[in-house]
Amino acid sequence: MERKKLALIFGGRSGEHVVSLRSAASIMEAVDLESYEIMPVGITRDGAWLAGPDAWLSLWEQRLPREAGRAVLLTDPGHPGLLIQSDQHPGEWRHQPVDVAFPVLHGTYGEDGTIQGLFELAGIPYVGSGVLASATGMDKVFMKAIFQQCGLPVAPYLFFYRYQWHGLEASWQERVATELGFPCFVKPANLGSSVGITKVFAPAELPAAVEEALLYDEKVLVEEFVAGREIECAVLGDIEASASRPGEVIPCNEFYDYRAKYIDDRSNLVVPVDLGAALEESIKDYSIRAFRAVEASGLARVDFFVNPDKDTVIINEINTMPGFTSISMYPKMWEASGVGYRELVGRLIDIAFSRHNRRQALLFTPPE
């Protein structure tokens, strides 16, 4: 049987570019090569698409790509695939069919519904959530609103736009102090990897924290500080979803910020974490409910603040394309639950085909 063409897409324009490369390297080693032929597709920090082995080397070595090897995703469902520039004749382009895409992209332009929309236009099955769930999972304000609507526990919060902040700083400072108190967290509404997040301990620190968040987004989220352990849970599935055993992040800094995640490397990850049977089941239930609330598919990691002494659970956020290296929390939690990395990759690809086929059966073409 002829192997299916799997486009493994990595890199991207977000601050999680390097994390994406590491995730892709692990996935590449785990894909069943008897069933799939891997086609590496790298997206540079500037947004250029490259295909083939040279794409992999270009992104890893951070060198400028050659003109040859550029790639363009066709949005013609009649010919799903890529146009790839010829190495020998740069003026010529060849069509490369794609049967399924695995976009191991984190953050902006990869996890926010944009590339998912391209796959929908192109008629290509793809691993992970669709446009709606991806966009909702990226926008923390809409995410929390949906969670609240579905009866899920979230911390008290406020949000505002740049135009609402400038000129009304004193009013917002008063609202934050009255409704949330200090300390609190100030975040860009749309971003990942804890970039632009500040823990604010006093009113005088709030303006600088807001301006920091506004460097990355037009909308700012301010959340009440929740004391508790940082617990995570992995979800796998589609219409039917299951949750893994939870794990715990013990950050080396004041909170699990960008430096703690990617630079200091001193945070501890405990997988699985013993919370007691009742609390663990509650976290699993909330994780699946959060997954369904945003209509996620394939995979997601749900992050919580948990206080076992008070038996309280607060959902912090859902990540629709979490880190996927062999030592990332998502695969580690599934490994602790009896699903190995290789099996996990295979199941995600199977879910991509199943979801695509189910949705294709619903398409309606109006009569001429």
CB 193 within 8 A of CB 303: no
Does residue 366 lie within any of the structural domains?
no
Query: What is the per-residue pLDDT for 209?
Result: 97
**15-40 confidence digits (pLDDT tens):** 788 889 999 999 999 999 999 999 99
Q: Is residue 132 part of a domain?
A: no
Mean pLDDT across the chain, nearest whole number? 90
Cβ neighbors of 81 (< 8 A, separation 6 or more) are 5, 74, 95, 96, 97, 98, 122, 124
pLDDT digits (tens, 9 = 90+) for 125-139: 999 999 999 999 999
Tell me whether residue 119 is in a domain: yes
Q: Which of 121, 147, 98, 127 is nearest to 238 (CA)?
A: 127
pLDDT of residue 82: 96
Q: Structure tokens of 153?
A: 């526990």
Q: Does residue 142 sit in the same domain as residue 282?
A: yes
149 shares its domain with 238: yes
Average pLDDT over residues 305-334: 92
Structural domain includes residue 365:
no
Domain extent for 164 = 157-224
**Which segment, 67-71, 192-196, 229-233, is predicted with the most confidence on average?**
229-233
Residue predicted with more confidence, 256 or 245: 245
Q: Is residue 131 part of a domain?
A: no
What's the rounded Cα separation, in Å, for the pair 224 and 158?
9
Residues 164 and 98 in one domain: no
Same domain, 273 and 142: yes
Mean pLDDT computed over 97-108: 94
pTM, whole model, 2 decimals? 0.91
Length reported for the chain? 368
- Tell me what pLDDT residue 366 has: 62
Verify that 197 and 233 share a domain, yes or no: no
Report the CATH number at residue 344.
3.30.470.20
Q: Is the pLDDT of residue 64 over 90?
A: no
Do 289 and 353 lie in one domain? The reply is yes
Provide the pLDDT for residue 59. 81
Question: Does residue 363 belong to any structural domain of this protein?
Answer: no
Q: What is the spatial distance between Cα 219 and Cα 361, in angstroms, rounded to a whole number?
A: 38
- Asked whether residue 278 falls in the same domain as residue 171, the answer is no
Same domain, 38 and 110: yes
Confidence of residue 263 (pLDDT cuts 50, 70, 90): very low
Whether residue 328 sits in one domain with residue 315? yes
Residue with tokens 């969670």: 147
Whether pLDDT at 335 is above 80: yes
What average pLDDT does the segment 75-79 reach? 92
Same domain, 186 and 87: no
In a domain, 27, yes or no: yes
Indicate the residue among 170, 195, 224 that finishes a domain. Answer: 224
Q: What confidence category does residue 262 fall into, taking pLDDT thresholds of 50, 70 and 90? A: very low
Rounded to the nearest 10 degrees, how much is the dihedral formed by the CA atoms of 241, 295, 100, 140? -110
Q: Is 169 left (phi over 0), alpha (psi -120 to 50) or beta?
A: alpha
Long-range contacts of 180-185, Cβ-Cβ distance < 8 Å, separation of 24 or more: 180/156, 180/222, 180/223, 180/224, 181/224, 181/225, 182/225, 183/225, 184/222, 184/223, 184/224, 184/225, 185/222, 185/223, 185/225, 185/255
Range in 80-89, 104-113, 178-187, 317-326 the model is least confident about: 80-89
Q: Read off the pLDDT band of 67 (50, 70, 90).
A: low
Regarding whether 207 and 180 lie in a shared domain, the answer is: yes
